[in-house]
Amino acid sequence: MRKKITVVGAGNVGASCALWLAQRGLADIVLVDAPIAKTAPVGKALDLLQAGPIVGYNARITGTAEGSYDGTENSDVIVITAGFPRKPGMSREDLVGANQAIISDVLSKALPRSPNAYLIVVTNPLDSMTYLAYKLSGLPKHRVMGQAGILDSARMAAFIAMELNVSIENVQTVVLGGHGDEMVPLTRYSTVFGRPITEWLPPERVNAIVERTRKGGGEIVNLLGTSAYYAPGAAAAKMAEAIIMDSKLIVPASAYLEGEYGYKDLCFGVPVKLGAGGVEQIIEFPLTDEERAMADKSVKLIRETMAALKF
């Protein structure tokens, strides 16, 4: 039987994710959106399908109309990109409340049709929405994860490659923590051709790259007027690929912790091994006192956002 991936949210991030997935030829893809989107998912899916003969991919891409989940049955992976962005004047509690309603609605409609699916959450605030999806779904923790650190690590790697004028293939980066200003870039574990970036660059340049990474999403919003979508879509697609292909890929992702890194009962960005079993392993790095302090601050900010969740 052919594999199937459902992408909930046919906006910029969801459509980009569907495109990256189609190019990989991993699975058939179903695009779903809220009733307000009307037939947009059908149209975008048809457009993507017609690109197949040009680009050379063979994925069957369909969309649903009026918020229907018919056709998503027996999905192997469900990627949730649907959600409101934070707007001027909107409090954290407002954003959490609005997107909690969306996550709840998605799970109530998608999971009964695909009870064996793995969930990849992209909706912000990422770590809180991943935690919500884990709690509401009742799924084991290895089947629920959030796309976070893989995007932040990619941004950091891109900035390092530009700074040193080297191939991106030579750069490896590690970013832990919450998805946002509270992320924790681990510079001593971030390397270029096996050497830590601290041996390639002076401290002020390393700090500048770290700060730009933390503000990476905001930088794009300021330039574009909307949130990023190509890279977030690619990051979610990469996670889905690792599950479908059982690739045992180690990437940073938001996962539910039960004592790892000294934290419990929250979703937090940590290195995980992704394969056919979802989050098959959480990999713990020893942290310095400075790194631990940054991680503690990140956890505090996430818990403040989680406090706005209502169960």
Integer Cα distance of 18 and 22 in angstroms: 6
Counting beta carbons within 10 angstroms of the beta carbon of residue 118, is it exposed (0 to 12), middle (13 to 18) or buried (19 or more)?
buried
* Coil, helix or strand at residue 277: coil
For the CA atoms of 305, 139, 176, 24, the dihedral, rounded to the nearest 10 degrees, stands at -120
195: tokens are 């050497």
CB 273 within 8 A of CB 284: no
DSSP-derived secondary structure letter, 226: S
Strand 171-172 to 191-192 pairing: antiparallel
Counting beta carbons within 10 angstroms of the beta carbon of residue 167, is it exposed (0 to 12), middle (13 to 18) or buried (19 or more)?
exposed
Q: Nearest CA to 27 among 178, 245, 227?
A: 245
Catalytically active residues, by annotation: 179
* Coil, helix or strand at residue 170: helix
